[in-house]
Amino acid sequence: MIDLHTHSIFSDGVLVPSELARRAEVLGIKAIGITDHADASNLDFIIPRIVAVCKELNAVNHIKTVPGIELTHVPPSQIRPLAEQARSLGAKVVVVHGETIAEPVIPGTNRAALAADIDILAHPGLISEEEVITAAEKGIFLEISARKGHSLTNGHVAQSAQKHGAKLVLNTDAHEPSDLITEQQAIQIALGAGLLRSEFEHMQKNAKSLL
């Protein structure tokens, strides 16, 4: 199991990165992305610290810890430059908080994210066919989410991705220990979205390709 979307105390998570990684490792997770929420106000504060702690953890842990960021509720016009800044600061996984139906995300966020240099469009909600096609063309991963609220449109995302050949990943968007899941739980979430077990395994290969 690879989970490339989680949060620590650097945003609204409850665990320090060391404990987040340890709890994930105990559940059998092989690699975890720490992708705390950011906008223009805190990007340059968060990423260097996550990069530093991931380097230290990877020197002693079996689980691989990947430094990243989730650009969250960012005005669409700012997504591209902030994604570029995140890369320059050392983020290995750049996630954008998509247009989930559970939050009032600015319309146009999905489209702007897919026009930028990002890796994952998280919980993209009722993403349009045009946007799914763009994701497929650019090789940007669409997220199947284990998080309540965001997961309500997993079926739509999965079906649209299958129709247009977009790549999927499955992440927890964990904010606290109870949000982390085992591989068996992840498989059940994939099945609940209308995917096959073989497609879950393919999602894991997609996640591994980002490592």
pLDDT in single tens digits along all 211 residues of the chain? 999 999 999 999 999 999 999 999 999 999 999 999 999 999 999 999 999 999 999 999 999 999 999 999 999 999 999 999 999 999 999 999 999 999 999 999 999 999 999 999 999 999 999 999 999 999 999 999 999 999 999 999 999 999 999 999 999 999 999 999 999 999 999 999 999 999 999 999 999 999 8
Domain assignments of the chain as residue spans, ordered by start: 2-210
Q: What is the pLDDT of residue 99?
A: 98
Measured between alpha carbons, how far is residue 105 from residues 20, 62, 135, 172 in Å? 27, 37, 19, 19
**Residue (of 75, 62, 74) closest to 22 by Cα position:** 62
Tokens of residue 72, six digits: 């969250």
Tokens of residue 133, six digits: 């096609």
How much of the chain is in helix, strand and coil states, percent to nearest 5? Answer: 45, 20, 35
Architecture of the domain made up of 2-210? Alpha-Beta Barrel (3.20)
Give the CA diameter of the chain. Answer: 44
Amino acid identity for residue 171 in this structure: N
124 within 8 A of 112, measured Cβ to Cβ: no
- The position carrying tokens 């965001």 is 150
pTM over 0.95: yes
Return all residues near 129 (Cβ < 8 A) that are at least 6 apart.
160, 163, 164
